[in-house]
Amino acid sequence: MTVKQTIDRRSFLRKSALAGGALAGGALAAPAVLAQAPIVIKMQTSWGAANIWDEFAKDYATRVGEMSGGRLQVDVLPAGAVVAAFQVLDAVNDGVLDAAHSVPVYWYGKNKAASLFGTGPVFGGSATTMLSWFYAGGGQALYDELTQNIMGLDIQGYLGFPMFAQPFGWFKEEVNTVADLQGFKYRTVGLAADLMAKLGMSVAQLPGGEIVPAMERGVIDAFEFNNPSSDRDFGAQDVAKNYYLSSYHQASESFEFLFSKSFLEDLDPDLQAILKYGVEAVSTANTAKAMDRYSADLQTLANEDGVTVRRTSSEILQAQLGAWDELIPELEADDFMKKTLDSQREWVERVSYYELMNSPDYALAFEHYFPGKLSL
């Protein structure tokens, strides 16, 4: 079946359902259930069913269903149900899936600029800063230019849930200096792979579900994924015991909600709006759940699972910034990437200046009321 046939079939099914609803209101008095038949949206994630992020995707589905009064039904499928975790972009573009819940860096192999929408250089802005850039600083238009014009994809994407900075990751032994990192086989994704290579590590790009098996087989000997909950869900604590928080390799990522553009445009305008603004709604819900669960699971890792939690050394953090300094000119050889990085720098210089100048020292207040807990 061709992409066009898939789209035409979708359109036919949707319009047939609407026509059935119209008949239900006529003299034939068809069963009322026909009028209420929802439009089903097949959404696959890039996460396993046990990952907290699968819950996050289902939180979106719940909100869409309720906001649409039951006219939309988002069926959330885990990674591998239809396609592999890194293949969801292709599946949505080809009409195999209606939607996907993923991150842009997972299609980095198609275009390195993907990483700029969540896992690019850190100029001083948080994930919230950069999600704000996406919606108010021109990021959405640049994303659409990349996906729809440069890459020619039939997709519409939105970003939501500004993630907390991702930990440097899991190691079998202590790592305190750049010299300690030399020769590690390290798992990460996107531009972070280029960054870590400049620090002396060899890098394997793997989906989350393949990390622990790769550690057990010796394919890698260190890794990062994202957060204490996801890491614990897939068993990171069973293969390494040194967990380093704080890093500049992926400090401003958000989820990517991908939709088939043809499928989306075939919906009524109010349903299109629900799918779009539902991303904004679930962003807040995801943030609240993440704060609760990530913090609780970090305590469990430390207090029950025998994990030593440390903060990444200032030497390694400074070296990461130096590696970004080397990498940025290489990226800017591409006109689109330079345009995007210029836009981000302009945004961060103004917005983060306000954020940083205005923010009180929260660590000072925390230490005042909970003395001795922080190791900064």
Q: What are the binding residues for substrate?
A: 166, 187, 224, 250
CA contacts within 13 A on the Cβ side of 135: 15
d(CA 298, CA 310) in angstroms, rounded, equals: 11
Quick one: residue 198, left, alpha or beta (phi over 0 = left, psi -120 to 50 = alpha)? alpha
Pairing mode, if any, of strands 308-311 and 169-171? Answer: unpaired
Could you list the residues known to form a binding site, using ranges.
Answer: 166, 187, 224-225, 250
Per the annotation, binding residues for Na(+) are 225
